[in-house]
Amino acid sequence: MQALRLVTRDSPLAMWQAEFVKDQLLAIHPHLVIQIFGMKTQGDKLLNDSLSKMGGKGLFVKELEEQLLAGNADLAVHSLKDLPPHLPKGLNIGAYLAREDSRDVLVSLKSLKLHELPPQARIGTSSLRRQWQLKSLRFELETLALRGNLGTRLRKLQEGQFDAIVLAAAGLKRLGLEQQITEFFAIDTMLPSAGQGVLAIECREDDIQLQVLLQPLHHWPTAQTSRAERRLIAELNSGCQAPVAAFGQIEAEQLKLRAWVGSQTGQHIQAELTASVEEPEALGAGLAEILYQKGAATLLEDWRNHSH
């Protein structure tokens, strides 16, 4: 009987995701014994600053990765959008699980949709990407930083600290809170974060036996779209310091990738590119090149200077 140690953040959503992966694995490999260890990461502890000022989303995964590298854990379950595009040496993604709904949603106090909110309504989000896409839809709205796990964010809304908040649909659906959603944003209206809605299982590169066990969970279409999105983010080297969105879709053997980069003046650049579904990395790099030709380097540099 093989025992596996699974490490995750200890937020309710992260624990749900870990249990979900455990159940999926046990359904295929009933002989396994899987223990889940929840941890508080730096990103969970430092709730007062914006992520971009603290060094980005990697703060949610660093301690988990250290447990893998030290041999204290065998696998870590992440929301892929929290996982930086460059993984530490010795680690890889053993499986990408089928993508949940990748859209962003609005949750508002009086069930008002975005266009119904009063001028200067206070909208909570910790994401620069969401802030600036909201601004492009309604520039007069006030966007305020909102950190904390899903329950904390919803509580702050109920307490009246905000008129509305923007969240990922996937988290709400996974926790059975779909009824809280006031409005789904179309992908064209609010392009998601790279990897949004995807669960990734990270493990040691040399743990071949585990990677074989994970294979039945691996969803190839999700992997291809995610790889394209992550390569784009890596090429732009944007981290969390700039509002960048990326979304890939497979259509008739082709992979279409869309991207958006925001500026501090409210302008933005966007582009899309289609290529063979077999070459996601080349597609991501190619679209990044187009964004650079459109002036992305200047926008990204402005954000880097602004965040220091």
Q: pLDDT by residue (tens digit) across 241-289?
A: 688 999 999 998 899 999 999 888 778 999 999 999 999 999 999 999 9
The tokens for 11 are: 């937020």
Which among 243, 283, 249, 287 has a CA at the least distance from the CA of 265? 243
* 82: annotated active-site residue: yes
User: What's the Cα-to-Cα distance from 161 to each of 45, 124, 171, 263, rounded to whole Å?
Assistant: 21, 9, 21, 27
> How sure is the predictor about 54, in pLDDT bands with cuts at 50, 70 and 90?
very low
Which residue carries 């933005």 as its tokens? 268
Contact status, residue 195 vs residue 80, Cβ threshold 8 Å: yes
Judged by average pLDDT, the poorest of 40-54, 93-107, 135-149 is: 40-54
Q: What's the CA gap between 77 and 64, in Å, rounded?
A: 9
Q: What's the CA gap between 69 and 208, in Å, rounded?
A: 15
Q: Are strands 33-39 and 164-168 parallel, antiparallel or unpaired?
A: unpaired
Element (H, E) at 131: helix 128-137
> How sure is the predictor about 40, in pLDDT bands with cuts at 50, 70 and 90?
confident
pLDDT of residue 308: 55
pLDDT of residue 67: 95
Q: Collect all residues with Cβ–Cβ distance below 8 Å to 188 and sequence separation of at least 6.
A: none
User: Which residue in the list 44, 82, 101, 163 is annotated as catalytic?
Assistant: 82
Which residue carries 């941890």 as its tokens? 39
> How sure is the predictor about 307, in pLDDT bands with cuts at 50, 70 and 90?
low
pLDDT of residue 46: 56
Q: Which residue spans of the chain are classified as CATH 3.30.160.40?
A: 220-308
Judged by average pLDDT, the poorest of 57-61, 179-183, 226-230, 244-248 is: 57-61
Task: Specify the higher pLDDT residue, 237 or 204.
Answer: 204
Q: Are strands 254-262 and 268-276 parallel, antiparallel or unpaired?
A: antiparallel
Q: What is the dotted CATH code of the domain comprising 104-184?
A: 3.40.190.10
Burial 65-77 (b: 16+ CB within 10 A, else e): bebbeeeebbbbb
pLDDT of residue 304: 78
Q: What's the CA gap between 95 and 6, in Å, rounded?
A: 14
Mean pLDDT estimate for the chain: 91
Domain 220-308: what homologous superfamily?
Porphobilinogen deaminase, C-terminal domain (3.30.160.40)
Q: How many of the other CB atoms lie within 10 Å of CB of 215?
A: 10
Q: Taking residues 59-80, what's their average pLDDT?
A: 93
Q: Which residue spans of the chain are classified as CATH 3.40.190.10?
A: 1-97+198-218, 104-184
* Global pTM value: 0.91
81 φ, ψ to 5°?
A: -65, -15
Decide if pLDDT at 293 tops 50.
Answer: yes
Q: How many of the other CB atoms lie within 10 Å of CB of 110?
A: 9
pLDDT of residue 264: 81
Q: Which CATH architecture has domain 1-97+198-218?
A: 3-Layer(aba) Sandwich (3.40)
Q: Taking residues 148-167, what's their average pLDDT?
A: 95
Tell me what percent of the residues of the chain surpass a pLDDT of 70.
92
